[in-house]
Copies of this chain bind each other. A is one copy, B any other.
Amino acid sequence: MLRTQFEEELNKLHNQFYSMGTQVSAQLNKAVRAFVSHDRELAEDVITSDEMINQLETKLETKSLEMIALQQPVSGDLRTIITVLKASSDLERMGDHVTSIAKAAINLKGEERIHEVEEDISLLGEKVKAVVDASLNAYIQGNDKRAREIADQYQTVKNVSGEIQEKILDAMKENTETITTGKDYLMTLVFLERITGYAVNLCEWIVYLKSGNIVEL
């Protein structure tokens, strides 16, 4: 294969990865909106889209492996492919958790709700989406310094999630009618934490992409 043709394929892989990331981010936005606005249709839309996200992962992995096997790339080219190969799983799992949020939104239907908690979850959902988007931007810019900064947001998300969890437990104790709903709120918070964790994993691969070093952020 000609060098230019290889470079084109590499560039395409890079762009497809970014595009998969923006789709996951858009689904996260939808899932959180469905959760807060009690929109069953929107939630089902998110659940249906998960299959597409899974297919994108398989496609990216297959393509990455093919490029490694046939082109035997080295240094920067190899790192570009390895990053897609590794981090596409992180994007796919973000998608899984987004789907779980959408399923929780459907579960909530008809149950006693806690409006203050839903507002808190909505705000945290926006925060998590901002972290995901920032990590995707750092990827497309190849900005490892920014990637390291983004990773620090994980603790903030965990702290906020912890505070909301306390609020949920208090509400459950005060009014046992909210216990069923409370469970779905608690699960959703775990999913938002995990999505942030996967964004941090992506950041680790951005550092690798630039430096060749495997780090834990």
Chain A contact residues, CB within 8 Å of chain B: 54, 58, 61-62, 65, 68-69, 72, 74-75, 78, 82, 85-86, 89, 165, 169, 172-173, 176, 179-180, 183, 186-187, 190, 201, 214, 216
Cα-based distance from A180 to B179 in the complex (angstroms): 12
Q: State the 9 A-B residue pairs at the shortest beta-carbon distance, nearest first.
A: A72-B72, A173-B176, A61-B214, A172-B179, A58-B214, A62-B214, A173-B179, A190-B190, A169-B179
Instruction: Closest B residue to A170 by CB, please name it.
Output: B179
* Chain B neighbourhood of A173, CB < 8 A: 176, 179
Number of chain copies forming the complex: 2
Instruction: Closest B residue to A180 by CB, please name it.
Output: B169
B69 lies within 8 A of A74 (CB) = yes
* Chain B neighbourhood of A187, CB < 8 A: 186, 190
A69 CB to closest chain B CB (Å) equals: 6
Known: A68-B68, A69-B74. 14 other contacts (CB 8 A): A54-B216, A58-B216, A61-B214, A62-B214, A68-B78, A68-B82, A72-B72, A82-B85, A86-B86, A169-B183, A172-B172, A186-B186, A187-B190, A190-B190
Instruction: Closest B residue to A75 by CB, please name it.
Output: B69
A171 CB to closest chain B CB (Å) equals: 10
* Chain B neighbourhood of A176, CB < 8 A: 172-173, 176
* Chain B neighbourhood of A72, CB < 8 A: 72
* Chain B neighbourhood of A58, CB < 8 A: 214, 216
* Chain B neighbourhood of A190, CB < 8 A: 187, 190
